[in-house]
Amino acid sequence: MNILFLSIFAGIGLIYLLIGLFYSRGIKTNEDYFLAGRNLGLFPLTFTLIATQVGGGMMLGTAAESYKVGYFGIFYTLGMSLGFLALGLGVASKLRSFNVVTTAQLFEFKYNSVFLRKVASFISIITMFGLLCAQVVASRSVLIALGLSNDIVLIAFWLIVIFYTMIGGLRAVAATDTAQIVFLLFVFSVLFLKTLFAEPSNFFTFSSFIARQKVFSSSSFSFLTLFPVIFNPMMFSLIEQDLAQRFFSAKTKKIAAISAIIASIFLLIFSFIPVYFGMKANLTSLFLLEGANPLIVTISLVANKFFLSLIVSAIAAAVISTADSLLCAISSNICQDFDFPFIKMKKINFSKVITLIVGLLAVLVAYFSNDIIGLLIQSYELSISCLFIPFIFSYFKKRLNKNAAGLSMLLGLFGFFIFRIIVVPFPKELLSITLSLIGYFVGENFLNK
């Protein structure tokens, strides 16, 4: 099966590289590279929005959480879905109306502060780098479950992702995202329906819900542990650079809004698949190797070798679909928000070099973690604590004070660290945002403009 999987994925990888080479021919400026010429239509935008989230976090992380906490494993995707809904109801249109390349540029455009723009960009880069590392961890768990723990295979996997993203930019990412999501949806829908119909009773009836959820010990989760799983992705989606980058690239504000709503509905429905397989692994007492993912192990017991290879390739494609968007977004922040006067090469070539370096660093750093959802949630929390409040005010308020934004970011950062030291009986994410909000109002009303 391993040879079959490697053969299928090698073929997919070759297609991705050809797509990258094809779209690289039309790239002449950084706007072409990072924003696809601001010309994405409804379908490519919708697919690439979905692809930013249907990655290792949703598929493998949700299955791993459902293995531990049952139906509550859906909380991560529910948070993303609610965030997309908020985007579709107004925020996405607002983002499209700004003539910027990165969300951090709003701190210069709206708050008139180059310094705050650079600080915001730096925080966004750290956050997205953590999310990117989570995708590497997810891909490693897939390979371990298949018995492919060889580092050479993992590195080759990521070199393909890095290279086609590097040469093709957002146009290539959007094109491959469409193919990845269609492929993923087909193979998982077929497998899910086949497996579900073989169940002796309906898995998703209310009575079945209650009975099955009782199997999962309540001591393994609580309000304080589950709250950030839904809250952080929901809030972060409103300020996330790789999502905003797509809305900046939309043809119109209407297309941006409609795409976000469609993506919201799709994510919520599709998330029941990893929830189902994660719970099934626990309910059937499957043995898992350390670092292996219950989604892969469960599927390996119900699918033949060929279909299992297709499924694993689809999961790998899901991981890639999130990773390439993060790579592109991180590079956009670095190249658009910071000056490099000592670099003599063309801007477009420099952007490609940065993409390569960021991708290789993520592969290296990811070796120090195995917790997919934990890595995602902690990465989200940093940006939410520091940037959420000043970003939201910049979307809808005309007269803005840079001192308010600066103090808001500072107190949010203080909350991010202090509530990791001091144990409180409330969600630390809410407390950090509250501190940030207090900082904003103090800065706006008591500090000179």
3-class state of residue 110 by DSSP? coil
- So what's the pLDDT on residue 448? 65
Confidence bin at 264 (pLDDT 50/70/90): very high
Percent of the chain with pLDDT over 90: 13
Q: Which residue has the higher pLDDT, 218 or 363?
A: 363
pTM score, two decimals? 0.80
Q: Which of 54-58, 129-133, 232-236 has the lowest mean pLDDT?
A: 54-58
Q: Which residue has the higher pLDDT, 147 or 441?
A: 441
- So what's the pLDDT on residue 47? 85
As a whole number of angstroms, the distance between CA 46 and CA 49 comes to 5
Name the average pLDDT for the chain. 80
For residue range 276-323, list pLDDT tens digits in order.
888 888 777 777 766 667 877 787 777 777 777 777 777 777 777 777
- Residue 414 included in any domain: no
- Residue 134 included in any domain: yes
- Residue 285 included in any domain: yes
The residues, any chain, with a CB within 8 Å of residue 33's CB and separated by 6 or more, are 27, 169, 170, 348, 351, 352
Average pLDDT over residues 247-267: 90
Average pLDDT over residues 389-404: 89
- Residue 139 included in any domain: yes
- Residue 437 included in any domain: no
As a whole number of angstroms, the distance between CA 193 and CA 171 comes to 33
Instruction: Tally the domains of the chain.
Output: 1
- Residue 236 included in any domain: yes
- Residue 215 included in any domain: yes
Full domain range(s) for residue 69 = 2-105+117-370
**Nearest CA among 165, 154, 188, 120 for reference residue 388:** 120
- Residue 51 included in any domain: yes
Q: What CATH number corresponds to the domain at position 191?
A: 1.20.1730.10
Average pLDDT over residues 406-417: 92
For residue range 413-445, list pLDDT tens digits in order.
999 999 888 877 778 888 899 999 999 999 888
